[in-house]
Amino acid sequence: ANITQGFPDDFLWGSAISANQTEGAWQVDDKGLSTADIMRRITDRQNKALAPITKADFDQAYRSKDVEQYPKRRGIDFYHTYPEDIALLAEMGIKVLRFSIAWTRIFPTGLEEEPNLAGLAYYDRIFAELAKYDIEPLVTISHFEMPAMLCIKYQGWASREVITAFTKFTAVLFKRYPQVKYWLTFNEINTSLWGFHETGVLDAEKTSQEQLQLRYQAVHYQFVASALVIQQLKQINPQAQVGAMLARMQTYAATAKPDDVLAAQETDRQNLFFLDVQARGEYPSYMNRYFKEQALDLDITLADQAIIAQYPVDFISFSYYMTTIVDEESRHQQAAGNMVVGKANPYLKASAWGWQIDPIGLRITLNTLWDRYQKPLFIVENGLGALDQVTNDEQIHDDYRISYYQQHLQQLKLSLEDGIPILGYTSWSPIDCISFSTSEMSKRYGFIYVDLDDDGNGTGQRLKKDSFYWYKKVIANNGADL
């Protein structure tokens, strides 16, 4: 067979954002309150776990009209600035934009029978704007948000009722937006084990065993919802494809000691488990053993298993930011909520937020996923959160970001040459936005700078960073100069 040289002509170069980190306009056009609107800002840069939200925190946020403490309520005002912002993305030459649709714009509480037309009209405008520049939409249906009302009424995804609320939402989207070829159901589905922020499960007051029970139950109902959504989409628009989306964290063994290697393999399987279910259509036996050992009693019916088996995902997408290392000892110290697991890798440098940077790990990841699933892959997030400085003449010399991307894209290119089918690459993110984990504005990922600080002060003006011109050139050359 021919060995591929570099990037295929139809490679989908792009970038990714989410609704809750960019749109703002939290109460405009009848949008309902979402779980993202309840997340407070955090100032601890090295925070390893998202602190669970207590019932009291939730109630307070639910009633509060404050925006400063809850920055996702303001985002970067993309709701109003999207024409200028999309024009800048078009100037950069991106071929695909990954974005998400806020459930609360379409069904403000999740309980309505009919969708909110003003919310749909907004996304109609987004699709029209993208079409104007020939930018392919890649849509995440659920990106870390859901109607807050569903947490109150149902305990979020820990209840089966939420599946129906969700498929009511997706039916509206699939009928209205037949132009979408690529859909993702749940962003970073494995982070559901972190709790409220991803699944709307309010369990801060529970024991860790009860939390585990609720969180794995929430994961299961998402698996079922995802399979039902695939079934629904195949009926409405058989050409369209659905991908799983995993926060992939490859685990390395800290030493060559067999106990450590086994610990690393077992930790890694806790991450791969989500794809095992969504791509292969069944729970792997190692998880059944794990559930038993943890004394979890999950509601998994035969009908659920049948639908999961019948509707696996068409492709696999993942975010890639870091790898982790583990040894026999450190594996037992991990809590379900930890974002950065294990120890520091002595061979790697970390970002200012402690995320270990590992370009070769991307190639290892691509090999692992291709070897295991043989489904097309899509890298839908990769990027560097950094503190950028604006010079007096309004420039941002982010050579560290350029070098981060360059090194990761070189590995991606090698993987293409290895013969792995990779549909595209959407960096996180094209434009600075509110950080998911800390809700800071100063954790910047963009090629485009946004003049806003952590308190929301600033002009909101957009400035092109050096990386903007660099990525533009990479796309224009189809990666030839990497």
Report in angstroms how near the CB of residue 207 gets to ligand BG6 at its nearest.
Answer: 27
Q: How far apart are CA 235 and CA 278, in angstroms?
A: 19
Sign of CA dihedral 155, 160, 165, 171: positive
Measured in degrees and rounded to the nearest 5, phi and psi for residue 320 equal -135, 115
Q: Which two tokens stand for residue 78?
A: 């993309």
**Closer residue to ligand BG6, CB minimum distance, 166 or 318:** 318
User: Do 253 and 327 contact (CB within 8 A), yes or no?
Assistant: yes
- CA angle in degrees (0–180, nearest 5) for 282-248-380: 105
Q: Which is nearer to ligand BG6, 143 or 375 (CB)?
A: 143
**Smallest distance, Å, CB 240 to ligand BG6?**
22
Nearer to ligand BG6, 386 or 414 (CB): 386
Q: Which helix (H) or strand (E) holds 423?
A: strand 422-428
Cβ neighbours around 226 below 10 Å, total = 29
- Closest distance of CB 362 from ligand BG6, Å: 15
Q: Which is nearer to ligand BG6, 70 or 154 (CB)?
A: 70
Residues that bind ligand BG6 in the complex, under the rule CB under 6 A: 18, 21, 144, 187-188, 247, 319, 381, 385, 428, 435-437, 443
Tell me whether residue 295 is exposed, middle or buried, using C-beta atoms within 10 angstroms of its C-beta: 0 to 12, 13 to 18, 19 or more.
exposed
Whether 417 is catalytic: no
Q: Prior bond to 429 cis, omega within 30?
A: yes
| Minimum CB–partner distance for residue 428 and ligand BG6 (Å) | 5
Residue 402, helix vs strand vs coil: helix
Q: Which among 307, 312, 156 is positioned nearest to 244, based on CA atoms?
A: 312
Q: Are strands 251-253 and 324-326 parallel, antiparallel or unpaired?
A: parallel
Cβ of residue 380: shortest distance to ligand BG6, in angstroms? 9
CB of 9 to ligand BG6, least distance (A): 29
CB 426 within 8 A of CB 412: no
Q: Of 381, 394, 417, 440, which is the active-site residue?
A: 381
Nearest to 245 by CA among 357, 98, 371, 83: 98
- Please report how close the Cβ of residue 342 comes to ligand BG6 at its closest, in angstroms: 18
Least gap, CB of 368 to ligand BG6 (angstroms): 19
Distance between CA atoms of residues 478 and 6, nearest Å: 8
Q: Where are the alpha helices (DSSP H) in 177-301?
A: 196-199, 208-236, 258-280, 285-293
Instruction: Between 375 and 443, name the residue whose CB sits nearer to ligand BG6.
Output: 443
CB–CB of 116/29 below 8 Å? yes
Distance CA 417, CA 103 (A): 39
19's CB contacts (< 8 A; 6+ apart) are 99, 100, 101, 102, 105, 143, 145
Strands 251-253 and 96-100: unpaired
Report CA 243 to chain centroid distance, whole Å.
Answer: 12
The residues carrying an active-site annotation are: 381
